[in-house]
Amino acid sequence: MNESAISARDLEISFPGKRRAGPIHVLRSINLEVRRGEFVCIVGPSGCGKTTLLNVITGFIRQSSGEVLVQGSPVTGPDPKRIFVFQDNGVFPWLTVEQNIGFGLARRSRDEQREIVHRYVQMVGLTGFEKAYPRELSGGMRQRVEIARALAANPQIIYMDEPFGALDFITRLKMRADLTRIWQEEKKTILFVTHDIEESVQLADRVVVMSQRPGTIRKQIEIDLPRPRDLDSPEYLEVRDEIFHTMGMSLKVGAA
């Protein structure tokens, strides 16, 4: 059995630039393996191509060279086995919470739909809001709807592109804790893009650190800390600082 959920080999992306300047290299020699059930975060400075990398893996953008295998075969298009969770709200405003969560279940029986929707409403803590419309919810609650909608479709892989980027600090912390718990219950493979180093260390089994453009993988750091993670423990801080240093940043505000 192939244990690799996602496997990118020698991936290069370049976009045609202006005539003189030649093509713009966005990603260079990316080699990435994601094991099944693994939670991997990709961090990097803004503009490093991490969202582009995610878009190539999901098949929204074609690579210039190299190959991407997802669950052993090349990606040809969207597939309900792999669901994408967006930063800007992809929840449908014309559907209620439960209709949104059940969106990917049209082919199931009524009873199954009801049962699955009920389970995920509970899991993301939206009990009592089943009949509410997205505009009546806070940003964090809407993001919970989107995550529940992804989970309800029972995908093997969930891609997340800065899904908590638009939320306030407290809500983000809560969402991370909930996502960790849900991931432990559901055992999905998650590939999570963020620019937030703290976030990556709180969530991931492994953090992939990318360089400035053209984006390359600078370092991959396994995080073997028990969950829920103690954000004050020396081990946590050590990993966090390692990533900061890898990205060439100082932890002292104002330092050059």
**Closer residue to another protein (CB): 14 or 96:** 96
By CB under 8 A, residue 53 contacts another protein? no
Helices (H), the chain: 50-57, 97-101, 110-123, 139-152, 169-186, 197-203, 234-246
Number of residues binding to another protein, judged by CB under 8 A: 27
Q: Which stretch binds another protein (CB under 8 A): 99-107, 111-119, 170-178, 186-194?
A: 99-107
Q: Which stretch binds another protein (CB under 8 A): 34-42, 112-120, 131-139, 210-218?
A: 131-139
By CB under 8 A, residue 236 contacts another protein? no
Do 204 and 222 touch, CB atoms closer than 8 A?
Answer: no
For the CB of residue 52, give the shortest distance to another protein in the complex, in Å.
15
* Among 61, 66, 69, 79, interactor with another protein by CB under 8 A: 79
The conformation of residue 211, written as its DSSP 8-state character, comes to P
Structure tokens at 218: 């600078």
Query: In the chain, what are the helix, strand and coil shares in percent, each to the nearest 5?
Result: 35, 25, 40
Site for another protein in 139-168 (CB under 8 A): 146, 150, 153
Instruction: Compute, in degrees rounded to 10, the torsion defined by CA atoms 105, 107, 110, 115.
Output: -40
By CB under 8 A, residue 130 contacts another protein? no
Edge to edge, what strands does the sheet with 39-43 contain? 82-85, 157-161, 189-194, 39-43, 206-210, 217-222
Residues that bind another protein (CB under 8 A): 60, 77-80, 82-84, 86, 88-96, 103-104, 106, 133-135, 146, 150, 153
